[in-house]
């Protein structure tokens, strides 16, 4: 089955392919030695193919619901702890952080079904996304979903060192379904999910996650 490309990434990909084309043209015009020229041209094409892979929307089988919280991103669990969330929730909660590296798909998905009750974009720094301070100081977007039972799940998309654009489709009042795309973070980044204290977390540090399919927690 043909895989789709994230609609917000067409411009980025067009720029990547344009730069690669200019680079290849310049190599052809200035370098005659095949042992230098062809590896450089091959690198340019491999980079373009990697970017197509990076911004694709893979076919997934969502398992989330208003009780089952699934990973909002592909990556590796780097933090599982209790955390006082002071932006919107104003209380202690359980936190699960997933770090996305350069080889992970960077499309993001709603982690749970419900209604968006809060959304805010925060400009900021671009520290390495796995650093503890990244959660507060980096460019990020915060979104809270309230489930039918009244539980609130807040997730934050954090830009990393190289990321310069966060996309999120959230609007307060909109109904969302777990497993549908909610946005994308371009290049290295992190996804934090804040859960009620009575949620049963199903992952541990070091676990690999697959968006829509890896169960992060069970809500009471």
Active site residue 189: yes
Q: Is 190 exposed, middle or buried (0-12, 13-18, 19+ CB in 10 A)?
A: buried
Quick check: 110 and 183 in contact, CB under 8 A? Answer: no
* CA pair distance 5, 52, nearest whole angstrom: 7
Spatial CA neighbour of 78 closest among 218, 204, 211, 194: 204
State whether the Cα torsion 181-186-191-167 is positive or negative.
negative
Q: Residue 81 and residue 209: Cα distance in Å, rounded?
A: 17
Residues paired with residue 167 on neighbouring β-strands, in sequence order: 184
Neighbours of 155 (CB within 10 A): 27
CA torsion through residues 17, 18, 23, 27, sign: positive
Radius of gyration of the chain from its Cα atoms, rounded to whole angstroms? 19
Q: 10 Å Cβ neighbour count for 88? A: 16
The catalytic position among 71, 113, 189, 204 is 189
Closest residue by Cα to residue 134 from 143, 122, 144, 146: 122
Active site residues: 189
């Amino acid at each position: 089955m043909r895989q789709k490309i994230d609609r917000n990434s067409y411009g980025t990909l067009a720029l990547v392919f344009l730069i690669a084309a200019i680079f290849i043209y310049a190599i052809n015009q200035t370098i005659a030695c095949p042992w230098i020229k062809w590896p450089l041209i091959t690198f340019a094409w491999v980079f373009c193919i990697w970017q197509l892979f990076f911004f694709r929307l893979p076919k997934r089988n969502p398992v989330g619901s208003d009780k089952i919280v699934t990973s909002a991103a592909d990556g590796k669990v780097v933090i599982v702890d209790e955390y006082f969330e002071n932006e919107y929730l104003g209380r202690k909660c359980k936190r699960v952080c997933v770090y996305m590296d350069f080889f992970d798909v960077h499309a993001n998905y709603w982690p749970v079904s419900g209604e968006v009750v809060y959304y805010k974009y925060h400009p900021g720094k671009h520290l390495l996304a796995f650093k503890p301070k990244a959660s507060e100081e980096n460019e990020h977007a915060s979104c809270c979903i309230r489930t039918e039972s009244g539980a609130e799940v807040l997730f934050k998309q954090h830009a990393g060192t190289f990321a310069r654009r966060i996309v999120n489709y959230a609007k307060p009042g909109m109904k969302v379904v777990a497993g549908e795309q909610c946005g994308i973070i371009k290049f290295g980044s992190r996804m934090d999910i804040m859960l009620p204290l009575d949620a049963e977390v199903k992952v541990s540090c070091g676990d690999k996650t697959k968006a829509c399919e890896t169960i992060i927690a069970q809500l009471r």
